[in-house]
Structure 1
Amino acid sequence: MWRSIALSAGMALILGACSDGGSSSTNQKHLKLSGLVQSSSAGVEDYRVELYGSFSDDGGSRVPLGSGSTDSDGAFTIHYALSDAQRSQQAVLFVEATSGPSMLASAIGSDNGEVSSSIVINDHTTVATGNAFAQFISALGIAGDAIGMRNAAQMATNLVDPISGAVGAAIASSPNGDETSTLATYNSLANVVAACAAEHDNCAKLFAAATPPGGSAPVNVLQALSNIVKHPSYPGYPNDATDPLFNLAKASPANYLGLASRPNNWLLFLKVTGGFFSEQSPTNVVNGVGNIAFDAEGNAWANDNYEPQYVGQPACAGLRLIKFSPAAQVISGSPYFGGGLSGAGFGITLDLAGNIWTGNFGFQDPPCIGTPAEAPHNSVSVFKPDGTPISPNTGFTQGKISWPQGTSADRAGNIWVANCGNDSITKIPNGDPAQAVNIPLGPLGPEGLPRLKPFGTVVDLDGNVWVTTNRGDTVVVIAPDGTILKTLTNAEADPARPLINHPIGNAADSKGNVWIANSDWLDAPCPASAREGPATNPSITMYQTGTHDPYPGSPFTGGGLTVPWGISVDGDDTVWVFNFGPDGVEPTPTTALTGISRFCGADTSKCRPGAKVGDPISPATGYTSDALERITGGQIDRSGNLWVMNNWKQNPNPDLNPGGNSVVILIGAAAPLNTPVIGPPVPLKPVAPGKS
């Protein structure tokens, strides 16, 4: 997306194999790190500066490397040494500068453990570190999954240049910059750090504000920033009328141009279009991204509903598969074409071999129909991890694929595809299309049109596949051998509170429970759409593993639910719901902001004290941002970043290039997952920080 980040200027220290004259792993190379510690652009004196390394061979725990102190100008020098073993593995270095309760921090790196120039540690580097590493920070320090830590360091460079300490180009420029409130939020948080550095009483106010409900107060500024990310809506305060963080952001010295009014959350929503632009044109990378999936290294794979096009021009079926780096840059050689790609929809998954599967729904604007560009709706495409298509130019069509949406892999190597157009599921055993079988879910309606419209697919711990039927208002549970085990309906539900209501996305949690997003609006166009709901009764429903019974209290509401579409569960079993705008797509333009909703999941120990399964965590508005448009899919990466798809514009012409051209990343917002997610999500194991 943005310029390539050289490791010499990146936050990740990728330690390459290098020689200093010896071959023994016990040899050490003596190094020096120099720099300035600043707050409000001025050097700070008598700060203790400590350097730590986090090395993959040590399980991601951090190792103290050296220390120093700042002089009257804020300058410091640290002498340290790295062994051959340390210099031959991937690692992240952290610098923490403290004076009493005040802390300023950063992460820096180079190809071989040497930094070619002096560095700057300041208010912005501190906020960048606290956000990007939020899910890896505890009272003991920073530690976590080696890949997730490395990727977090890469993501942080979008917020700050760790060498100069300047605000990162990505957050400072289009499509961010002054086009959304994200930069101002970032600056307000930097003002909070500066207020603490200027007056230690402000540190106490920060620690109080960043104390989670029922939790312990943070022990330092980094942990406070981490808590703010994990609990972003007025942390520790029960109402929206009081926000001490906003008050601290306005306290002296308040050097950075921050928010003019109180936000409803303190998350950083980084907008990604594939470059430093926001306008739509045929040269864009994405248009109408439907969903996303992550590989084992944390790269993101996304599909396009539509071809990139100017606003107001017809957009035919998307023909590309996009690969983003963990830093949200478009990988060289991407997008990838061929393989039968045709207006891919909600379905995208990785299989056990790392191949990428995507369902070709055939999205297109009406003017494309009847032209050579008219899209087929009858295939899935498969690509190798290097972007080479495996499927032919027609895609794989075996198994009577029809207007495919949800596409999921299971842990036995099978691929499951929801056929919205013919009320069936296609099972592709072992990923071999020659073995594909079609599993009807019910009889078709007049003229062979669907009555049920299968949409979302997810696999539980037993290998059963759960399928939402968007028009049928049911959830079908299918055994691994293709037998229909159960069809869940609203038969015993209160008609005023249906358990299943225009359902779309579904997701499993780590315990095998399945969550359903009830839009109360969508009637999927596969091909016709004639039963749209009022979008006045959105909800989510949890079905229990084993019994398949709804969890008591289902369906759950609140938390800013509007038109729930996608749904995902993080490493804490917290449930995240992605709303397709503030309301249904109506002729009257809306000025309301789209929100993301969040709920307490099956592990209530990760929620506020007294919270029950299904209680909303997000405020009544959801987590809103002017960076968000109409969202469909969303997924969590290995660093805890939540990537969501701006699939449609906020006020689109539904028949003329309605697609949005961006992905939005909520930096550090969710508990990380092991990737790729195949079946129920697997949380990343915590890593002890080690000695500090």
Structure 2
Amino acid sequence: MRRRRAALLTAVLASLVTGAAYPRGSDGPPPSATTSDQRGVVRGAAGPISGARVTLWRAGDDSRSGARELARTRSDSRGRFRIDHRVLKDPDDAVLYLTADASQAGRRAAGRTRPVRLVAVLSGGRHRPRVVLNERTTVAAGYALAQFTRGGEVAGRDPGLRNAAAVAHNLADVRDGGVARTLADAPNGDETSTLRAFNTLADILSACTAGGRCARLLELAARPGSPVPRETFQAVADIAALPGNNVAELYALADGRRTYRPRLGRAPDAWTLALRYVGNGHELDGPGNVAFDARGTAWIGNNYVFDDDPRNSVCGSRVLSRLTPTGRAVPGAPYRGGGLYGVGFGTAIDPRGRVWATNFGFQGAGCPIDAERFYRSVSEFGPGGRPLSPPLGWRQGKIVQPQGVLSDPDGNVWIANCGGRSVTRIPQGNARRARNIAPGGDRLVKPFGVAVDPRGRAWVSGNGSDSVMVLSARGKPLRSVTGGGIKRPMGVASDSRGNVWVANSGAVVAPCEGTTPAMVAEAVVDIETRHVDASVTMVRPDGSTPARPFVNDGLFLPWGVAVDGEDTVWVANFGGHRLANLCGVRESACPPGLRTGDPISPSDTGYTSDGLERNTAVQIDPSGNVWLANNWRDVPVQTNPGGHEMVVFVGLAAPVRTPLLGPPRPL
């Protein structure tokens, strides 16, 4: 009898090795023409995980509806599983993911507590006949889906959730549990520390899956004021959403663990994951700003013609880039025509999906073209990239060296004329009716950034007048706001309650009205520490300001500013390789104890990344990813000073409905 049992066991094991047999989903339907099967393996740092409850989920369509279980099974002695499930009627619209729940290694889970939850995202790419669930795939899912994960379940609105699921595949390859190509290869890979941070996070997770230190991991991952997560997937999502929390203590959990390499040699400033995106690899050169359309694709204007060599003189870019939410060039992009030339800080999308790009006339030293022929226009493109403006752009409204641009909800387009001390208003996007608005005198010098508040009023920063001009919804100048620390302001952004946030560079003189980019480079290249006047000012709806601006060492030549779906504030810096996050007026959305203007990011560094260079714009996409433009290189050689990447912090902010039409709207 014992020999028979031994022979039977040998036969079963042999079939598993060859892949001929997988355990079937105990609760799933029998295979048929209307069903499909998903196979895979559950594996931790210590090896295969047997007896894990593996569940296939369809994510909820919004935050009020939970995820729906489609099928479940258990992993066998080698961690393998097979789930049979019904084919969905709308597979392209669904976000599917797998969870594997198990007790920590070497212990039984008390009652129903199963602290180990490994996850793999299935949607966001082509069908994967076999998947691996491990610590890497769990970190990828936890970060990409951080803004859509509550209580270990995933739910959210389209396109934010669907795009977020696709971004998970930029971090981990669920086919083998390894590192995804986007993260592994240049311009990421060994060129930045993100790959090492990703692997270290996986090692931290393995302290629970293999080492039994689950209680400590869950305790450290918990966000202040929030419940302690019950399992590892929610723990990762909580770390991603507040990456500056318990940084060193979390790093210590990885001591002695070397499963995933390469890894960090010391604790970072924060547990952020920042990816560089380059589109087709030969189009981004001096990206100035980014605007997201209703599907979450990113439209980007460029300063210069692409050239890798900063010593080669380049002229103004004549292309408008468009990237997918995962950083790849949209088929057919980049787009040309419509008068594009050397776009700066101005890229915006109106309610009809039309794209507006301001032609500042940027070009490198030595370019033989006279920029004055081109810097008096704005270009307009249709939602599919077809140019709608004439070959020299729209020139009505006395446009001169335009920088910031934004559309309001009624389709009125507002343009800051950096070289003209004025604003151009295009009523309902009809460029032939454009009107120039000049407040007169020195009330608005070097207009740069534009914001629109909930009342439809336009707020325009005056970089040369240390002011912010307020205009009525129809364009009448109302007041000039000064004081409150406003000094050399660049970007401005409105929150949902009508407050306007101003990024005070303190030192950057906008390159217009007689100031050249070379002068800007000379002024900022030697600034090695945070400039004393770098700050952020909040202007209230009535035009008043606090007595002092908000200051912390996460601010270093502040340039761009954005507000997310929970009214927290994000600041891009032209120096210091850092992103700052401030508590906004909705203090309930901030960690307990913080007040308006307090830093959420580490106060002495901000969220740093060696993938950043000199950044101008910052914007939030519908998935909660924070995009920054690497506009200039650290040492901006003026023949071609442009940077070549968009840098995206994954899952860091509250998602925003796009396109951005004035103040942010939660997704």
TM-score above 0.5, yes or no: yes
Kindly indicate whether residue 196 of structure 2 is the aligned counterpart of residue 184 of structure 1. yes
Kindly indicate whether residue 90 of structure 2 is the aligned counterpart of residue 90 of structure 1. no
Cα pair distance change 1:58/1:611, threshold 3 Å: closer
Q: Any residues of structure 2 matched to 1:272-283 within 5 Å, and which?
A: 272-275=277-280
Amino acid at match of 1:342: Y
Partner in structure 1 of residue 317 of structure 2:
318
**Are the aligned partners of 1:289 and 1:304 in contact in 2 as well (CA < 8 Å)?**
yes
Amino acid at match of 1:614: G
Q: Any residues of structure 2 matched to 1:513-592 within 5 Å, and which?
A: 513-529=499-515, 535-545=531-541, 547-550=542-545, 552=546, 554-582=548-576
SS at match of 2:644: strand
SS at match of 2:178: coil
Cα pair distance change 1:380/1:566, threshold 3 Å: same
**Are the aligned partners of 2:124 and 2:169 in contact in 1 as well (CA < 8 Å)?**
no
Q: Any residues of structure 2 matched to 1:568-647 within 5 Å, and which?
A: 568-582=562-576, 594-619=577-602, 620-647=604-631
The alpha-carbon deviation at position 516 of structure 1 amounts to: 0.3
**Are the aligned partners of 2:420 and 2:513 in contact in 1 as well (CA < 8 Å)?**
no
Partner in structure 1 of residue 242 of structure 2:
231
Distance 2:125 2:178 in 1: 21
The alpha-carbon deviation at position 595 of structure 1 amounts to: 0.8
Distance 2:633 2:232 in 1: 38
Partner in structure 2 of residue 106 of structure 1:
120
SS at match of 1:207: helix
The alpha-carbon deviation at position 374 of structure 1 amounts to: 7.2
**Are the aligned partners of 1:205 and 1:244 in contact in 2 as well (CA < 8 Å)?**
no
The alpha-carbon deviation at position 33 of structure 1 amounts to: 1.5
Partner in structure 2 of residue 295 of structure 1:
293
Of 644, 651, 665, 1:668 maps to 651
Of 78, 81, 85, 1:76 maps to 81
Of 434, 452, 456, 1:436 maps to 434
Partner in structure 1 of residue 384 of structure 2:
386
Amino acid at match of 1:96: T
Distance 2:124 2:466 in 1: 55
The alpha-carbon deviation at position 341 of structure 1 amounts to: 0.4
Partner in structure 1 of residue 25 of structure 2:
none
The alpha-carbon deviation at position 110 of structure 1 amounts to: 8.5
Amino acid at match of 1:158: N
Distance 1:470 1:57 in 2: 42
Residues 85-109 of structure 1: per-residue CA shift (max 9 Å, x gap): x54x610111110112112111114
Amino acid at match of 1:185: A
Of 385, 392, 395, 2:393 maps to 395
Q: Which blocks of at least 5 consecutive residues in structure 2 are unaligned?
A: 1-31, 104-114
Amino acid at match of 1:506: V
Partner in structure 2 of residue 281 of structure 1:
none
The alpha-carbon deviation at position 367 of structure 1 amounts to: 1.3
The alpha-carbon deviation at position 205 of structure 1 amounts to: 1.5
Partner in structure 2 of residue 22 of structure 1:
none
Partner in structure 1 of residue 26 of structure 2:
none
Amino acid at match of 1:616: P
Distance 1:520 1:116 in 2: 52
Distance 1:520 1:43 in 2: 56
- Give me the TM-score of the superposition, normalised by structure 1: 0.85
SS at match of 1:243: helix
**Are the aligned partners of 1:575 and 1:600 in contact in 2 as well (CA < 8 Å)?**
yes
Farther-moved stretch of structure 1 (563-572 vs 552-561): 552-561
Cα pair distance change 1:196/1:484, threshold 3 Å: same
Q: Any residues of structure 2 matched to 1:109-188 within 5 Å, and which?
A: 109=123, 115=127, 117-188=129-200
Of 452, 458, 464, 1:471 maps to 464
Cα pair distance change 1:252/1:366, threshold 3 Å: closer
Farther-moved stretch of structure 1 (33-42 vs 455-464): 33-42
Q: Any residues of structure 2 matched to 1:650-689 within 5 Å, and which?
A: 650-653=634-637, 655-684=638-667
SS at match of 1:660: coil
SS at match of 2:137: helix
Partner in structure 1 of residue 211 of structure 2:
199
**Are the aligned partners of 1:306 and 1:318 in contact in 2 as well (CA < 8 Å)?**
yes
Distance 1:674 1:116 in 2: 30
Distance 2:555 2:130 in 1: 48
Distance 1:300 1:515 in 2: 23
Q: After the TM superposition, which segments of 4 or more aligned residues of structure 1 sit over 4 Å from their partners?
A: 55-60, 372-375, 530-534
Partner in structure 1 of residue 27 of structure 2:
none
SS at match of 2:538: strand
Q: How many pairs does the alignment contain?
A: 613
Distance 2:63 2:192 in 1: 40
The alpha-carbon deviation at position 212 of structure 1 amounts to: 1.4
Partner in structure 1 of residue 418 of structure 2:
420
The alpha-carbon deviation at position 314 of structure 1 amounts to: 1.1
Cα pair distance change 1:355/1:41, threshold 3 Å: farther
Amino acid at match of 1:522: V
SS at match of 2:95: strand
Residues 115-172 of structure 1: per-residue CA shift (max 9 Å, x gap): 5622111111111100100100111511111311110111111112222322100100
The alpha-carbon deviation at position 315 of structure 1 amounts to: 1.7
Cα pair distance change 1:354/1:41, threshold 3 Å: farther
**Are the aligned partners of 1:32 and 1:78 in contact in 2 as well (CA < 8 Å)?**
yes
Q: Any residues of structure 2 matched to 1:10-89 within 5 Å, and which?
A: 29-40=34-45, 42-54=47-59, 56=61, 61-82=66-87, 84=89, 86-87=90-91
Cα pair distance change 1:462/1:661, threshold 3 Å: same
Distance 2:88 2:457 in 1: 49
Cα pair distance change 1:380/1:116, threshold 3 Å: closer
Cα pair distance change 1:28/1:567, threshold 3 Å: farther
SS at match of 2:345: coil
CA radius of gyration, larger in: 2
